[in-house]
Structure formats: C-alpha cells, structure tokens
C-alpha cells in the first residue's frame, strides 16, 4: 500500500527526496517537506498523483521553480519545487475554492491605484490600497485599521462610489486580498462589513492565515480578542455576511486573474515550516504577491518579515523584480538585499500618521531605497489619500521624490504625479 502524506487525505508520499518534516497549518492543511530533490522528482511526483486519480488544475513556473495544483473530488494538492534549494513541498487540504486563471471582462475605464490614508487614532500604521480595474470593479489589498467611529469604513465606501462606473447600481469588489491578519490590515474590512455588506457586490476573498493555536502563542494573541479590529470579528463577518462568497486559500506558485490584474504568489505562510510565527512573529505570515497590470509589476509585501525575506532570497533570482514596491511593514521591515532584488522605480509607504521621514529613511533597508538612483518617487499615505493610473509613469516636475511632513497629496479625481 502506498504511504500517504497524512491519513486524512489520499495523497501519496513522493518516492524521492529526504523527508524533513510534516506540519499542519490552518484549516486542516498539511505540509510535507523534502530536500535533495531535482526537477525529475517533481515530474515523477505529478505523474504519481495523476495515477492516483488527481487531475492537474494549473502548472506554473517562476524563476525556474515549478508549481502545480491538482485536485480530486474532495482534496486539493499544491506541489512546489525550488530549483536553487532542491526543496519539494507538498500541501494537502480539503478541496475549496480555486484560483481563477482567467477573468473575462469588458474594458470600459482606466485602471487606477488608490492609497487610502487612515483616519483612525487606534494605530499609526495601517494599510489599504484600492485598485479600480478595467471594467470598473475593484480589488482591495488589506484595508487598514478599523476604529470605533467607522471613519475609514465610510472613507472606503466613498472611494468606491466615486470611482465606480456611472450607472452601476453597486460597487463590485471582485477580490479582497488580505496579506495577513493583523488588525491594522483587516480592521477596515470588519467595520466595512458591518456597515456596508449590502451596499456592494462581493465576488472573492483571498488569504492564508496561521492556526489559531499558533496565533494564541505568538506575539499577537490579542488578534483573538473579541474587538472590532480582531480575527474574532473577521470570522464572524465571514459567517454572517459572506457565507456564499468563495474564500481562496493562497499558496506559493498560485496565479489568479482579477479582471486585467494578474497575481502570482511568491510566498505564503506554509513555506516557512518548520519555522513558524512563534519564531519570527505574526508578520512572517504575510503573503508576498506580484501583481502585473499591462506589463507593469507591483510587489505587495504586507508586513513581510525577516525569516520570510531570507527564504525568498534563497529561492528566487529575478522574480522579485518590480516597478512598484510596497515597503514591508510600514517601512520597519525589509532588507537591503531584498530591496536590491526588487530594484523599484516607485515606492509605496503605508502609514497613517506620525511618520518621521528622515528617521524612517535612515534605516539600512530604507536608506538603500533612498539612495537608489532608480527610485523616482516615494508615495506616503500619511500625506493624504492619493490615486494614480496603472501603469504608473510619474511626469517629471509633477511630484516630490520624498515628501516632507507637511506635504499634502491631491485626492481623486486629481491624479498624483500627473
């Protein structure tokens, strides 16, 4: 009888490689890791899965690394192989919503990227970006910190209303993507759900959060408190308002289309095992996403932290390169080596208030960006809610490269840097 990854899933063990551990993540997800493997081992394992009745949903190659998603009636298997490290990962989990590989749409408007300045006094940090897609629907990255007055919930709704197509009855949120579960990233979603769940059309939600047991023992146990900004309220919202909305759990190598925006997952929390958020903190669970719109790359880092950064630097060579970089953890994380691989022309800094730009840019990783001759512009949400067209090419003389504490950005519909 063929040995299985886990007794709960009909997923066979690879015949090759040195098994270095089997780990359980959230939602019953099981990860098995193997070292000393080659590309032929990846191919052989896919063939074994097909013989066991799995069919290939998608295959992807990034920087010579191979990824595949396979499905049976009740199980999804995500397989990744990394050419530079020889690591093979097998992820088995209950079959759920899959990443849409295509998203047919009609182009009726310009694609816009908006950075929303948070109004809450609960936290100086916070991150909320809104992408208006080519058909007038929206993709939201995180959202920001909720607050008792729901000011940012109303601000987000006003942005959606101001940018939706004329004549559209309700804004359509084609995708809401959460990099990780900290309150300054999911809090606005919680408030918005309580205030406006009937005022918009939701299509899909995307995330990959740790197990609650790990969260409880990590640096962020407060995320399980019963307050409006926390994971407890997030789960309550999913059950009460969005029980019929597909929730996609993301893994490395996944690619998905949100209208004219194409996403690829370069890192997800499952990659970190045997290390966990108990070793590096909740920020180690931040997704690393590469978005491409009309050939322009944007790298979304969330609060991407140091163990994860070391890992992706070992696993990728050119995949991290991007035109626009969202600075990791509101400018506190990131490394010079990571940012050198990204080598951006535009940098996004998500903070709500109180940022000292001189102090912020003096850290080694940020000094690398500050001193880069290629970086043309830092866009900081503390200076106000702003909007640009994607692809973004700031016009010379129309922007300040590094804003000061008294810089005020123009709000939509006036576009920043044009």
Rounded distance between C-alpha atoms, residue 89 and residue 165, angstroms? 43
Residue 73 above 70 pLDDT? yes
Residues 24-44 have a mean pLDDT of 98
pLDDT band at 284 (very low <50, low <70, confident <90, very high): very high
DSSP conformation class of 331: G
Residue 353 above 80 pLDDT? no
Residue 113: strand, helix, or coil: strand
Q: Tokens 């931040």 appear where?
A: 286
Residues with Cβ within 8 Å of residue 82, at least 6 apart in sequence: 65, 88, 315
Residue 121 above 90 pLDDT? no
pTM greater than the 0.95 cutoff? yes
CA 100 to chain centre: 16
The chain-wide mean pLDDT, for the chain, equals 96
pLDDT tens, 236-265? 999 999 999 999 999 999 999 999 999 999
pLDDT tens, 170-210? 999 999 999 999 999 999 999 999 999 999 999 999 999 99
Task: Let me know if domain 4-94 sits in CATH 1.10.8.
Answer: no
Residue 279 above 90 pLDDT? yes
pLDDT at position 1: 54
Please, are residues 295 and 262 in contact by the beta-carbon 8 Å criterion? no
pLDDT at position 146: 83
Residue 36 above 60 pLDDT? yes
Provide the residue ranges of all domains of the chain, joining segments of one domain with +.
4-94, 111-390
Residues with Cβ within 8 Å of residue 50, at least 6 apart in sequence: 56, 70
> Picking from 2-16, 150-164, 277-291, 344-358, which range would have the lowest pLDDT averaged per residue?
344-358
pLDDT at position 378: 96
Architecture of domain 111-390: 4-Layer Sandwich (3.60)
pLDDT band at 82 (very low <50, low <70, confident <90, very high): very high
């Amino acid at each position: 009888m063929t040995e299985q990854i886990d007794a709960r899933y009909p997923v066979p063990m690879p015949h090759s490689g040195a098994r270095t551990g089997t780990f359980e993540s959230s939602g019953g997800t099981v990860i098995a890791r193997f070292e000393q493997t080659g590309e032929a081992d990846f191919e052989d394992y896919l063939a074994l899965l097909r013989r066991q009745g799995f069919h290939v949903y998608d295959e992807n190659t990034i920087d010579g690394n191979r990824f595949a998603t396979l499905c049976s009636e009740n199980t999804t298997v995500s397989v990744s192989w990394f050419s530079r490290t020889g690591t093979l990962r097998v992820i088995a989990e209950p079959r759920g919503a899959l990443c849409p590989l295509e998203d047919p749409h009609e182009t009726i408007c310009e694609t816009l990227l908006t950075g929303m300045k948070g109004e809450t006094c609960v936290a100086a940090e916070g991150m909320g970006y809104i992408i208006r897609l080519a058909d007038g629907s929206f993709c939201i990255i995180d959202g920001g910190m909720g607050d008792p007055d729901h000011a940012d919930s109303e601000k987000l709704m006003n942005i959606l209303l101001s940018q939706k197509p004329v004549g559209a009855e309700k804004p359509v949120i084609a995708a809401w993507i959460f990099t990780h579960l900290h309150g300054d990233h999911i809090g606005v979603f919680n408030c918005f759900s309580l205030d406006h769940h009937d005022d918009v059309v939701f299509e899909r939600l995307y995330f990959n959060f740790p197990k609650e047991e790990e969260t409880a023992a990590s640096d962020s146990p407060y995320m399980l408190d019963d307050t409006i900004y926390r994971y407890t309220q997030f789960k309550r919202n999913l059950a009460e308002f969005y029980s019929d909305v597909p929730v996609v759990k993301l893994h490395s190598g996944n690619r998905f289309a949100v209208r004219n925006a194409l996403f690829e997952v370069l890192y997800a929390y499952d990659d970190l095992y045997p290390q966990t958020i108990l070793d590096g903190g909740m920020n180690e669970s931040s997704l690393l996403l590469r978005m491409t719109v009309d050939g322009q790359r944007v790298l979304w880092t969330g609060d991407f932290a140091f163990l994860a950064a070391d890992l992706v630097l070992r696993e990728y060579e050119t995949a991290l390169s991007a035109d626009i970089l969202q600075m990791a953890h509101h400018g506190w994380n990131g490394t010079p080596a990571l940012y050198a691989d990204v080598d951006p022309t535009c940098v996004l800094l998500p903070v709500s208030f109180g940022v000292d730009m001189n102090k912020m840019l003096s850290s080694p990783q940020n000094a690398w960006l500050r001193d880069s001759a290629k970086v043309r512009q830092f866009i900081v949400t503390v200076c106000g809610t702003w909007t640009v067209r994607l692809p973004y090419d700031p016009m010379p003389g129309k922007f300040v490269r590094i804003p000061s504490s008294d810089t005020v950005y123009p709000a939509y519909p006036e576009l920043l840097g044009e």
